């Protein structure tokens, strides 16, 4: 059964940048509510990619049931539409057993599909794309991004000027339809009377977040991440293009090929992870449907826990 907005009307969504502590908080809340967790992470789908994706441990999964973890081999790929349908199936199953479903993770496209649905969009027009790419090449990516900001400021705030492929697509859609892609992406808006799912994201001070990220990378390496990468290289099939996008693995493969030192590898992974977290933060701040919750240190603020409790009581 294809996903619909009705499937997600009662879920609780917990998100935030990588390294912010989503998994730790999710376990605490799930135990409190007798809930089950549906992973909203495109990389924990893969078997054998455990340490580098910060996958919940076997002990964590005994504490709280998790879904959509270890469901694909690393040489397989999954579309966003496939994930949405699978997530909806999991939520329906959890609902049928009288339990609460929590969506937990930081993959932006997955979160967007839950909140807004999937925008199919018009077919690509190679002439338009070529013309826009010429603008980017001759006038610079900033000029192309300025064009987007003029016709669709909402999506322009979400996209970095260097994300040329998506900037071009947004301008292409506007030329073909006469409407901003940010408006068209609201696929589920107005299709039913269901309310938007409760969504909250964790926001830590930038320096604290980056320090947590650096420490986590070092901990992953000390826990056997290099051996995990080596085992992936020995699989009967190469990793899929999607799996190869997981943070850190490409750098570890370079290290295994003796192209750089472990110190260089560690710094590269830390830098790229911090950059990824920054992009996540930019995107999350643009979401009107998601509540920001400032957090600092190791203690969770009472207002965060009470906010989740309040939504739980209001839906019962």
- Tell me the mean pLDDT in the region 236-261: 95
Residues ≥6 apart with Cβ < 8 Å to 286: 154, 157, 158
Q: Are residues 101 and 145 in the same domain?
A: no
> Does the pLDDT at position 242 exceed 60?
yes
Residues ≥6 apart with Cβ < 8 Å to 266: 217, 218, 221
Q: Are residues 24 and 152 in the same domain?
A: no
For 251, counting Cβ atoms within 10 Å of its Cβ (0-12 exposed, 13-18 middle, 19+ buried), the class is buried
Q: Are residues 212 and 249 in the same domain?
A: yes
In three-state secondary structure terms, 169 is: helix
Confidence grade of residue 1 (pLDDT, cut at 50, 70, 90): low
**How far is the C-alpha of 265 from the C-alpha of 252, rounded, in Å?**
7
- Tell me the mean pLDDT in the region 9-16: 93
Q: Are residues 196 and 86 in the same domain?
A: yes
Task: Say how many CA atoms lie within 13 Å of 102 toward its Cβ.
Answer: 27
**How far is the C-alpha of 46 from the C-alpha of 71, rounded, in Å?**
6
**How far is the C-alpha of 36 from the C-alpha of 90, rounded, in Å?**
10
How many separate domains does the chain show? 2
Q: Are residues 11 and 103 in the same domain?
A: yes
pLDDT tens figures, 275-305: 999 999 988 988 877 899 999 998 887 777 7
Return the C-alpha torsion angle 141, 210, 68, 119, nearest 10: -20
pLDDT tens figures, 87-130: 999 999 999 999 999 999 999 889 988 988 776 678 889 999 99
**How far is the C-alpha of 124 from the C-alpha of 177, rounded, in Å?**
12
Domain final residue, candidates 149, 167, 184: 184
Q: Are residues 283 and 171 in the same domain?
A: no
SS3 letters across 4-46: CHHHHCCCEEEECCCCCCHHHHHHHHHHHHCEEEEECCCCCCE
**How far is the C-alpha of 296 from the C-alpha of 303, rounded, in Å?**
13
Domain final residue, candidates 184, 209, 225: 184
Q: Are residues 84 and 216 in the same domain?
A: yes
Q: Which of 156, 154, 186 is nearest to 168 (CA)?
A: 156
Q: Are residues 245 and 133 in the same domain?
A: no
**37 close to 64: Cβ distance less than 8 angstroms:** yes
Give the pLDDT score at 52. 97
* More confidently predicted of 179 and 231: 231
Q: Are residues 53 and 151 in the same domain?
A: no
Domain final residue, candidates 136, 153, 184: 184
Q: Are residues 237 and 95 in the same domain?
A: yes
**How far is the C-alpha of 71 from the C-alpha of 45, rounded, in Å?**
5
Give the pLDDT score at 311. 59
pLDDT tens figures, 170-185: 999 999 989 888 877 6
Q: Are residues 140 and 113 in the same domain?
A: no
Q: Which of 304, 270, 288, 275 is nearest to 202 (CA)?
A: 304
pLDDT tens figures, 189-219: 545 444 578 899 999 999 999 999 999 999 9
Q: Are residues 293 and 165 in the same domain?
A: no
Q: Which of 217, 211, 298 is nearest to 24 (CA)?
A: 298
Structural domain span for residue 133: 126-184
Q: What is the CATH number of the domain that holds 150?
A: 1.10.20.140
Give the pLDDT score at 53. 97
Give the pLDDT score at 312. 53
Q: What is the CATH number of the domain that holds 75?
A: 3.40.50.300
Residues ≥6 apart with Cβ < 8 Å to 210: 274, 277
pLDDT tens figures, 34-83: 899 999 999 999 999 999 999 999 999 999 999 999 999 999 999 888 99
- Record the tokens describing residue 84, joined without a space: 């949405």
> Does the pLDDT at position 139 exceed 80?
yes
């Amino acid at each position: 059964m294809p996903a619909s907005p009705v499937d997600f009307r009662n879920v609780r969504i917990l998100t935030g940048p990588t390294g912010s502590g989503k998994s730790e908080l999710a376990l605490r809340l799930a135990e409190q509510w007798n809930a089950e967790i549906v992973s909203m992470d495109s990389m924990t789908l893969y078997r054998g990619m455990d340490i580098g994706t910060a996958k919940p441990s076997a002990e964590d999964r005994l504490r709280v049931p998790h879904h959509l973890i270890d469901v694909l081999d690393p040489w397989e790929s999954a579309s966003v539409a496939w994930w949405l349908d699978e997530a909806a199936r999991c939520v329906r199953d959890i609902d049928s057993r009288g339990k609460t479903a929590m969506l937990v993770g930081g993959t932006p496209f997955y979160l967007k599909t839950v909140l807004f649905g999937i925008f199919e969009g018009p077919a690509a027009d190679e002439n338009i794309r070529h013309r826009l790419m010429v603008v980017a090449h001759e006038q610079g990516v900033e000029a192309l991004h300025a064009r987007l900001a003029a016709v669709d400021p909402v999506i322009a705030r979400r996209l970095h000027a260097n994300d040329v492929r998506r900037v071009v697509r947004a301008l292409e859609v506007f030329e073909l339809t006469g409407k901003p892609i940010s408006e068209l992406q609201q696929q589920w808006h107005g299709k039913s009377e269901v309310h938007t799912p409760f969504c909250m994201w964790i926001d830590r001070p930038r320096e604290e977040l980056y320090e947590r990220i650096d420490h986590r990378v070092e901990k992953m390496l000390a826990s056997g991440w290099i051996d995990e990468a080596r085992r992936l290289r020995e699989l009967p099939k190469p990793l899929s293009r999607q799996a190869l996008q997981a943070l850190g693995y490409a750098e570890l493969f370079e290290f295994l090929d003796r192209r750089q030192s472990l110190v260089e590898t560690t710094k590269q992974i830390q830098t790229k992870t911090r950059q990824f977290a920054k992009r996540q933060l930019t995107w999350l701040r643009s979401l009107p449907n998601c509540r920001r919750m400032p957090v600092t240190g190791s203690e969770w603020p009472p207002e965060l826990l009470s906010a989740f409790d309040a939504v739980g009581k209001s839906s019962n």
